[in-house]
Amino acid sequence: MLRWLRSLREKPADDPGRPIPEALWQATLHAYPFLSRHGAGSLGALRKLTGQFLRQKEFHGAGGLLITDPMAVAIAAQACLPVLAIAGARRGLAWYDDFVGIVVHPGAVLAARESMDDAGVVHAWHEELSGEAMQDGPVTLSWEDVAQAGRTAGEGYNVVIHEFVHKIDMRDGAADACPPLPRGFMGAASPAQARKNWLANLQAHYLDHCDKISMAERFGGPPVWMDTYAAVSIDEFFAVASEAYFVSPVQFSRDFAGLVPMFDAFFGAVTPAG
């Protein structure tokens, strides 16, 4: 870590510390232009929340990777974007209070996997990932993917938002594609009805996305714009759709218009309509 972030971490818990240096903040906005799509008020709130995030979380570089101030601020700002304007009983960084550690790898993350087949044989292998969010545990990220987030925004791709939306999803105890919804969400009469409506809308778009991928891959149909990883499961669809919603809102609203009002209602409509 460089001087500013180290000094921030060394301050007492009740000391607000120095704000993110102007030059460092402006460099972050330049490297990740999608952060600058918001008005001055929202950007000011994002900067403040990013500073708070950096006070609460601990970064660990894997494989000898040195975490610098620009790296930490870049990750923190992107992680804060989904929780910047969520309404309801849980607000802001409270969505992330179940963990402290963020592990950053230089490149792809190799995650150990194990499964048992129908014959009872256990198979072990390593899966290459760009990131991973653990239930009540740390978030792991590939710096290679994070560093390219400014360029890949047009493709709707952002590994930081993806993994932190998984964290939001998990706040009710499971990665089930439906985060805890505020009371009366979109006019629902009960939490159960709100959840039912959310999942019905998400499921319809998920199945449609899967159908379009199949048509493209098997029958030469037009290629899909959003990451095909969204077809793995509905919870991955929620995370992939959320990253696209934040970093490429115009294209997302064209391809997934039916999800925009629901995401606006949950995330607080921090993305512009056009």
Number of domains comprising the chain: 1
User: What is the predicted pLDDT for the residue at 130?
Assistant: 82
19 found inside a domain: yes
pLDDT of residue 113 exceeding 60, the answer is: no
Residues 96/167, Cβ–Cβ less than 8 Å: yes
274 found inside a domain: no
225 found inside a domain: yes
Read off the pLDDT of each residue in 93-102 and give the average, rounded to a whole number: 96
pTM of the predicted protein model: 0.88
CA distance 40 to 274: 17
| Averaged pLDDT score across all residues of the chain | 88
246 found inside a domain: yes
Read off the pLDDT of each residue in 68-87 and give the average, rounded to a whole number: 95
| CATH assignment at residue 102 | 1.10.472.150
pLDDT of residue 64 exceeding 50, the answer is: yes
DSSP 240-263: HHHHHHHH-HHHHHHH-TTTHHHH
273 found inside a domain: no
pLDDT of residue 169 exceeding 60, the answer is: yes
272 found inside a domain: no
Residue with tokens 């570089």: 61
Reduced to 3 states (helix: H, G, I; strand: E, B; else coil), residue 124 is strand
Measuring CA to CA, how many Å separate 161 from each of 22, 141, 252, 268?
A: 23, 11, 15, 15
Q: At 171, is the pLDDT very low, low, confident or very high (cuts 50, 70, 90)? A: very high
| DSSP 8-state class, residue 17 | -
**5-9, 77-81, 240-244: segment of lowest average pLDDT:** 5-9
pLDDT of residue 261 exceeding 70, the answer is: yes
- Other residues' Cβ atoms within 10 Å of the Cβ of residue 127: 11
| Dihedral angle, C-alpha 76, 159, 237, 223, nearest 10 ° | 140
pLDDT in tens, 188-230: 999 999 999 999 999 999 999 999 999 999 988 899 999 999 9
Q: Domain span at residue 243?
A: 3-267
